[in-house]
Amino acid sequence: MNVDEVELLTRVASLYYLEDETQAEIAAALGLSRPKVARLLSKARAEGIVEISIRTHPALNLPLEAELARRFGLSQAILVADQPNEQVQRALAARAVAELLTRLLPAGGVVAVGMGRNVGAVSEQLLSPLQRSCTFVSAIGGSPQVGEDVNSGDSCRRLAERFGGRAEILYAPPYADSVRSRTAFMQHADVRETLAHAAGAQFAIVGIGDARDNGPVVEMGCFSTLDMARMRKAGAVGDILGYFFDALGEPVADSVRDRVVGLGSEQLRAIPQVVALTSEANKEAAVLGALRTGIIDVLVTNLGTARWVLEHADPAEDRPRSAVHS
């Protein structure tokens, strides 16, 4: 497809979707037949020039969002429509976080950035570059064994480009081989300084992992499937920034926690706005456990997950974020 064709597709799509012109009006203005305009619009969608998403009506979202916020002491819950396609589902959740950052992140702000595909997708949903001179700091190390859509450092770079700011990368693995190795990493001046900056952030963007065999930490080579089976046996249902928790939000797997090269859970909990997003199916138990940790301030997820969480929440076990902080 040449440049002229791309420009024509973009022009036709803009006239139809943004300027509300009919296909007949576009055909007359551009000297095309109406069937040709219809074919161009279809091709614009197929080529990714046009993306169509369906947003759930606020009348359906708001009660669930309000109940989630009340039950778990969140400042906000943002719910997106359920989608059968995983990539579309991820894009919707990431777009909600992108819009939140666009609205709330001040010039010169600092954001601590976690790992995972959901976090990595946020920069793709910032449709136009912003000039806010913000700093995006890795909150956990990364691995060359996975793609750029997973590593915290790569997500930092892309977000910094979109916000006209800078990226501060943590040059270390997400997990050290041993507690002794982790201590050595944490004592290194560059690692210590980067994590200090991350701990002082106004915002944090993190994903919610699960304890399944196909998670990012397994892809990174940090754990084997046998390791994950042992953690599940110990009660692990999910993780935030590499720290695993059980169904009640309590930490599990001390030997794993002591190897994380990144922000500690207490440091993360002290950041004013911790935004957690998840989009994958079958993560409901991980989301409920994550909410019970008291770490999350803003939750972004889909309607189906939200309904499951509220149906399985137990007021006797749930602790709002403010209660955990106190």
Q: Which domains does the chain have, with CATH numbers?
A: 3-46 (1.10.10.60), 58-325 (3.40.50.1360)
- Rounded CA separation 311/321 (Å): 19
Cβ atoms of 217 and 261 within 8 Å: the answer is no
Order of all β-strands in the sheet with 243-245: 209-210, 238-240, 243-245
pLDDT in the model for residue 171? 93
Question: What is Dmax (Cα atoms) for the chain?
Answer: 72
3-state secondary structure the chain: CCHHHHHHHHHHHHHHHHCCCCHHHHHHHHCCCHHHHHHHHHHHHHCCCCCCCCCCCHHHHHHHHHHHHHHHCCCEEEEECCCCCHHHHHHHHHHHHHHHHHHHCCCCCEEEECCCHHHHCCHHHCCCCCCCCCEEEECECCCCCCCCCCCHHHHHHHHHHHCCCEEECCCCCCECCCHHHHHHHHHCHHHHHHHHHHHCCCEEEEECEECCCCCHHHHCCCCCHHHHHHHHHCCCCEEECCEEECCCCCECCHHHHCCECECCHHHHHHCCEEEEECCCCCCHHHHHHHHHCCCCCEEEEEHHHHHHHHHHCCCCCCCCHHHHHC
Bridge partners of residue 243, in order along the sequence: 240
Q: What is the pTM of this model?
A: 0.79
Contact between 114 and 137 (Cβ < 8 Å) = no
Please give the pLDDT value at position 59. Answer: 59
- pLDDT of 325 reads 47
- The pLDDT profile of the chain, 326 residues, written as one tens digit per residue, is 777 788 888 889 889 988 888 999 999 999 999 999 999 998 888 887 887 665 555 555 788 999 999 999 999 999 998 988 888 899 999 999 999 999 999 999 999 999 999 999 999 888 777 888 999 999 999 987 777 788 999 999 999 999 999 999 999 999 998 999 999 999 999 999 999 999 999 999 999 998 887 776 777 677 778 888 888 898 999 999 989 999 999 999 877 888 999 999 999 999 999 999 999 888 999 999 999 999 999 999 999 999 999 999 886 656 555 444 44
The whole-number pLDDT of residue 144 equals 77
